[in-house]
A and B are shown apart, each in its own frame.
Chain A
Amino acid sequence: MSQGISQPDQPVIREGDTPDLFSKFDPLIQQRKDLLDSGIEDPFSLVMEKVLSPTSAICNGRETILLGTYNYMGMTFDPDVIAAGKQALDDFGSGTTGSRVLNGTYQGHREVEQALREFYAMDHAMVFSTGYQANLGIISTIAGKGDYIVLDIDSHASIWDGCALGNAEVVPFKHNDIEAMEKRLRRIPEGAGKLVVLEGVYSMLGDVAPLKEMVAVAKRYGAMVLVDEAHSMGFIGPNGRGVAEEQGVIDEVDFVIGTFSKSVGTVGGFCVSNHPKFEIMRLVCRPYVFTASLPPSVVATAATSIRKLMRNADKRAHLWENSKRLHAGLRKHGFQLGTKEPQSAIVAVIMPDLERGAAMWEALLKEGLYVNLARPPATPANMTLLRCSLCAEHSEEQVETILGMFERAGKRVGII
Chain B
Amino acid sequence: MNRADVDTKIRSLIEPFNKKGIAITDQTTFAGDLEFDSLTVMDFVAAIEDEFDIIISMNQQAEIETYGQLVDAVCKLQND
Interface of A toward B, CB cutoff 8 Å:
148, 153, 169-174, 180, 183-184, 187-188, 377, 380-382
Hey, which chain A residues are within 8 Å of B37, CB to CB?
382
A153-B42, A377-B38, A382-B37 in contact; A183/B59 too (CB < 8 A)?
Answer: no
Work out how many contacts link A and B, with CB atoms closer than 8 A: 34
The SS class assigned to the A binding surface is: mixed
- The answer to whether B58 touches A172 (Cβ under 8 A) is yes
A153-B42, A174-B46, A381-B39 in contact; A187/B54 too (CB < 8 A)?
Answer: yes
Q: Which one, B38, B39, B43, B49, contacts A187 given CB within 8 A?
A: B49
Q: Mark B36-78, 1 if CB is under 8 A from A, else 0.
A: 0111001100100110011101111000000000000000000
- The answer to whether B42 touches A187 (Cβ under 8 A) is no
Hey, which chain B residues are within 8 Å of A170, CB to CB?
57-59
A174 to B43, CA, bound (A): 8
Hey, which chain B residues are within 8 Å of A148, CB to CB?
57
Hey, which chain A residues are within 8 Å of B58, CB to CB?
169-172
Interface of B toward A, CB cutoff 8 Å:
37-39, 42-43, 46, 49-50, 53-55, 57-60
Which residue, of B38, B43, B46, B53, has the highest number of chain A Cβ atoms within 10 A? B46
A111 to B10, CA, bound (A): 57
A183 to B46, CA, bound (A): 10
Q: Which one, B38, B42, B57, contacts A169 given CB within 8 A?
A: B57
Hey, which chain B residues are within 8 Å of A377, CB to CB?
38
Hey, which chain B residues are within 8 Å of A381, CB to CB?
39
A170 to B54, CA, bound (A): 14
Hey, which chain A residues are within 8 Å of B53, CB to CB?
187
Task: Select from chain A the residue with minimum beta-carbon distance to B59.
Answer: A169
Which residue, of A148, A171, A183, A188, has the highest number of chain B Cβ atoms within 10 A? A171
A377 to B41, CA, bound (A): 14
Measured CB to CB, the closest approach of chain B to A278, in angstroms, equals: 27
- The answer to whether A382 touches B54 (Cβ under 8 A) is no
A34 to B46, CA, bound (A): 36
A156 to B42, CA, bound (A): 17
A178 to B8, CA, bound (A): 30
- The answer to whether B55 touches A171 (Cβ under 8 A) is yes
Measured CB to CB, the closest approach of chain B to A181, in angstroms, equals: 11
Hey, which chain A residues are within 8 Å of B55, CB to CB?
171, 184, 187-188
- The answer to whether B57 touches A174 (Cβ under 8 A) is no
A183 to B54, CA, bound (A): 10
- The answer to whether A174 touches B42 (Cβ under 8 A) is yes
